[in-house]
């Protein structure tokens, strides 16, 4: 029997449908989702900073310079939480959201609301070399998805609200509402129309206001642009674009390469031990790899590379600028290694902020090399630090517009729009040609589960093979006599095709009605001719769980068949007909273009 709360909720739903239009309700929900995603982001930041400050002030590790053993403690706490509470493998935040959008109609598990708020602060607060943006987006998206399900919002609007949640989380973390909207458009492949833009805008505003309310005017980068763009530096910004492109390619390949190195370690305990020790060793020699790295970026922007590098075994040589350059370049190389090792060891976090840290170091290195080359050139190190971040974001994430507007917004560096565009465009173009897919999207693309700005491809990605499989075909055995087949299958079927299946359920061929039509009334053959006489091999087969919908469509195009059998785990399952496939395709295409 429904409770009083359930009755009230049902009445609210009815009232909403009667009094509030879908468009208005979407706008209201965008504001609410932006607020909640912003709260999740603020909570994530505060929890992480609380852990970091507690470790810095209340534990002897820092005074004894033993901070490099902290990551393994944090990873152990994450491991224990995952094993005894979460009880599922941690997924990459953005990739799991993209998969939910393409294959789960925007449905995200409720556990993903709170799990990032626990695992990410433990990972980053104890020194794991990853970021907080991905977990913030994951938590906000899970809130949006479950709220949408609760309020009976359809799949298309639910997907839009998930993108709104990502915009709200990013706007809250960086206080950059425009970049937040562009991120949702570039990374989540949202249509750039007023139908989607207004909800994204409302969510972004809501998220950034949440940040202002709880954090005041506190900003990530205490930096004011002092040096303007000089036209004579254009060649150097082109050079920086090429450098960040190669760094982006290295970043992506290193990510997948290190993950492959950890694959032989089947036990999470061994991964934790090996990964934790590796991170500790890297932190001992390169302390800025500890945690997110915003302090490192701020010190570089202020021109204080000594503070940025911290205490290292090379302190006695810090007067030599080439030693400083070598250490900064070492951080550029090892940031990707430390980040991926943190993931491989079982940590939780994001790749966006590590990308910024690596870009800032590379930009600063390029500027220092130019200024100390002895050729009489002088460029702004702070500007190159900023634009290096944009180059890495554009290359690693394939998001050049996000890179440009984010760096401009968070630093007030709108005067750098021209060099930002030069470096970001070059980095993106080179990286895109060398690496088809990002860290977020490679596995999804291989599974045929990646949404893009190509509507035709998106339609195929959201289609489910289960929705078009037909199982009303009458199957026959290869040893059946013709008369038996006519009596038991042909006379009881409306189909003109009959799968031939052996006693183990394996498809061995098909029989077409046209193949037996001229023999159907020859009774002399009824007890002398078997099904195997008329059997032929299908032109193609569809492998359930392996073939993407794009591949299914290609098989129909190449084979010219009207029906293709589906094989699951080596056994016959059913058929897909071209007519039903195209009908389902047209229906989804209409939904996409509404």
Q: What is the CATH number of the domain that holds 252?
A: 1.10.3080.10
The yes-or-no verdict on residue 370 having pLDDT over 80 is: yes
Q: Same domain, yes or no, for 96 and 211? A: yes
Q: Say which CATH number the domain at 585 has.
A: 3.10.580.10
Confidence band of 60 (pLDDT split at 50, 70, 90): very low
Domain count across the chain: 3
Q: Same domain, yes or no, for 304 and 178? A: no
In-domain check, residue 221: no
pLDDT at 466: 82
Select from 453, 478, 493 the last residue of a domain: 453
Which has the minimum average pLDDT: 87-91, 165-169, 393-397?
87-91
Average pLDDT over residues 158-166: 90
- Of the two residues 329 and 311, the one the predictor is more confident about is 329
pLDDT at 589: 66
Enumerate the β-bridge partners of residue 566.
542, 574
Q: Same domain, yes or no, for 30 and 158? A: yes
Q: Same domain, yes or no, for 419 and 496? A: no
Contact (Cβ atoms closer than 8 angstroms) between residue 147 and residue 29: yes
CA dihedral 187, 188, 189, 193 (to 10 degrees): -110
The yes-or-no verdict on residue 62 having pLDDT over 80 is: no
The yes-or-no verdict on residue 435 having pLDDT over 60 is: yes
Q: Same domain, yes or no, for 100 and 170? A: yes
Select from 422, 453, 484 the last residue of a domain: 453
pLDDT at 333: 93
In-domain check, residue 279: yes
Tokens encoding 177:
């509402």
pLDDT at 63: 47
- Of the two residues 312 and 181, the one the predictor is more confident about is 181
Q: Same domain, yes or no, for 80 and 192? A: yes
Confidence band of 447 (pLDDT split at 50, 70, 90): low
pLDDT at 511: 86
Q: How far apart are CA 62 and CA 57, in angstroms?
A: 8
Please give the distance of CA 193 from its chain centroid, rounded to a whole number.
22
Most confident of 369-373, 434-438, 531-535: 369-373
The yes-or-no verdict on residue 446 having pLDDT over 70 is: no
In-domain check, residue 225: no
pLDDT at 116: 93
In-domain check, residue 223: no
Q: Which residue has the tokens 């609210």?
A: 12
The yes-or-no verdict on residue 335 having pLDDT over 90 is: yes
The 10s digit of each residue's pLDDT in 33-47 is 999 999 999 999 999
Q: Rounded to 5, what percent of the chain is helix, strand, coil?
A: 70, 5, 25
- Of the two residues 146 and 593, the one the predictor is more confident about is 146
Select from 187, 215, 243 the last residue of a domain: 215
Q: Same domain, yes or no, for 122 and 15? A: yes
The yes-or-no verdict on residue 561 having pLDDT over 90 is: no
Average pLDDT over residues 403-429: 88
The yes-or-no verdict on residue 160 having pLDDT over 60 is: yes
Q: Same domain, yes or no, for 266 and 358? A: yes
Q: How far apart are CA 560 and CA 544, in angstroms?
A: 20
Contact (Cβ atoms closer than 8 angstroms) between residue 185 and residue 167: no
The yes-or-no verdict on residue 307 having pLDDT over 50 is: yes
Q: Of 338, 351, 324, 361, nearest to 280 (Cα)?
A: 338
Tokens encoding 132:
């907080």
User: What letter does residue 536 receive in the DSSP assignment?
Assistant: B
Q: In this prediction, what percent of the chain has a pLDDT beyond 90?
A: 32
Q: Is 531 exposed, middle or buried (0-12, 13-18, 19+ CB in 10 A)?
A: buried
Query: What angle separates helix 177-187 from helix 155-174, to the nearest 10 degrees?
Result: 140
Which has the minimum average pLDDT: 134-138, 313-317, 364-368, 512-516?
313-317
Q: Same domain, yes or no, for 428 and 461? A: no
The yes-or-no verdict on residue 451 having pLDDT over 60 is: no
Q: Same domain, yes or no, for 267 and 382? A: yes
Q: Same domain, yes or no, for 469 and 440? A: no
Q: Which residue has the tokens 């399900």?
A: 149
Confidence band of 396 (pLDDT split at 50, 70, 90): very high
In-domain check, residue 224: no
Q: Which residue has the tokens 């694959």?
A: 263
Q: Of 198, 159, 340, 347, nearest to 262 (Cα)?
A: 340
Q: Is 256 exposed, middle or buried (0-12, 13-18, 19+ CB in 10 A)?
A: middle
pLDDT at 61: 46
Q: What is the pTM of this model?
A: 0.79
**Rounded mean pLDDT of the chain?**
85
> Residue 297 contacts by C-beta under 8 Å, 6 or more apart in sequence?
221, 356, 357, 360, 385, 389
Confidence band of 392 (pLDDT split at 50, 70, 90): very high
In-domain check, residue 361: yes
Reported for 55-60, long-range contacts at CB under 8 A and 24+ positions apart, including other chains, are: 55/125, 55/126
In-domain check, residue 486: yes
Give the structural domain span for 521: 457-593
Q: Same domain, yes or no, for 199 and 277? A: no
In-domain check, residue 226: no
Q: With b meaning 16 or more CB within 10 Å and e meaning fewer, what string describes 258-295?
A: beeebeebeebeebbbbbbbbbbebbbebbbbbbbbbe
The 10s digit of each residue's pLDDT in 127-159 is 888 999 999 999 999 999 999 888 888 888 888
């Amino acid at each position: 029997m429904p409770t009083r709360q359930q009755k009230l909720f049902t009445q609210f739903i009815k009232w909403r449908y009667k009094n509030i239009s879908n468009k208005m309700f979407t706008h209201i929900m965008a504001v609410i989702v932006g607020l909640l995603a912003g709260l999740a982001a603020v909570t994530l930041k505060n929890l992480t900073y609380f852990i970091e400050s507690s470790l810095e002030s209340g534990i002897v590790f820092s005074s004894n310079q033993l901070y490099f053993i902290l990551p393994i403690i944090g990873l152990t706490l994450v491991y224990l939480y995952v094993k005894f509470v979460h009880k599922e493998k941690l997924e990459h935040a953005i990739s799991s959201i993209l998969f939910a959008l393409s294959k789960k109609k925007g449905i995200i598990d409720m556990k993903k609301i709170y799990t990032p708020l626990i695992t990410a602060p433990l990972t980053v607060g104890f020194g794991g070399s990853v970021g907080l943006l991905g977990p913030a987006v994951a938590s906000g998206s899970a809130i949006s998805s479950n709220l949408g399900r609760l309020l009976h919002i359809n799949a298309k609007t639910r997907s839009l609200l998930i993108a709104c949640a990502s915009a709200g989380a990013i706007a809250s973390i960086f206080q950059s509402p425009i970049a937040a909207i562009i991120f949702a458009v570039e990374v989540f492949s949202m249509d750039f129309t007023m139908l989607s833009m207004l909800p994204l805008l409302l969510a972004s505003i809501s998220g950034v206001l949440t940040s202002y309310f709880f954090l005041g005017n506190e900003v990530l980068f205490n930096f004011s642009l002092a040096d303007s763009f000089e036209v004579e530096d254009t060649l150097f910004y082109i050079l920086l674009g090429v450098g960040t492109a190669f760094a982006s390619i290295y970043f992506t390949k290193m990510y997948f390469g290190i993950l492959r190195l950890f694959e032989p370690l089947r036990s999470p305990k061994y991964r934790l031990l090996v990964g934790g020790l590796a991170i500790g060793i890297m932190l001992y020699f390169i302390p800025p790899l500890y945690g997110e790295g915003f302090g490192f970026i701020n010190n570089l922007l202020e021109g204080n590379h000594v503070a940025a590098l911290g205490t290292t075994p090379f302190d006695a040589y810090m007067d030599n600028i080439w030693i400083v350059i070598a250490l900064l370049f070492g951080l550029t190389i090892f940031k990707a290694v430390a980040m991926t090792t943190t993931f491989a060891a079982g940590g939780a976090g994001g790749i966006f902020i590590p990308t910024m840290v690596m870009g800032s170091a590379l930009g600063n290195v390029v500027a220092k090399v130019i200024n100390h080359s002895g050729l009489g050139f002088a460029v702004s190190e702070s500007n190159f630090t900023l634009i290096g971040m944009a180059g890495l974001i554009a290359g690693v994430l394939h998001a050049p517009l996000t890179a440009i507007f984010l760096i401009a917004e968070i630093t007030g560096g709108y005067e750098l729009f021209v060099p930002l565009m030069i470096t970001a465009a070059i980095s993106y173009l080179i990286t895109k040609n060398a690496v088809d897919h990002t860290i977020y999207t490679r596995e999804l693309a291989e599974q045929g589960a990646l949404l893009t700005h190509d509507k035709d491809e998106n339609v195929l990605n959201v289609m489910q093979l289960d929705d078009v499989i037909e199982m009303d075909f009458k199957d026959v055995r290869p040893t059946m006599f013709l008369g038996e087949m006519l009596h038991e299958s042909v006379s009881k079927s409306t189909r003109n095709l009959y799968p031939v299946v052996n006693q183990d359920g394996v498809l061995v061929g098909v029989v077409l009605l046209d193949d037996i039509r001229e023999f159907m009334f020859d009774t002399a053959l009824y007890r002398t001719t078997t099904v195997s006489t008329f059997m032929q091999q299908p032109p193609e087969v569809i492998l359930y769980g392996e073939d993407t919908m794009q591949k299914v469509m290609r098989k129909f195009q190449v084979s010219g068949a009207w029906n293709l059998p589906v094989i699951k785990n080596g056994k016959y399952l059913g058929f897909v007909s071209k007519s039903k496939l195209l009908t389902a395709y047209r229906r989804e295409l209409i939904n996409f273009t509404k």
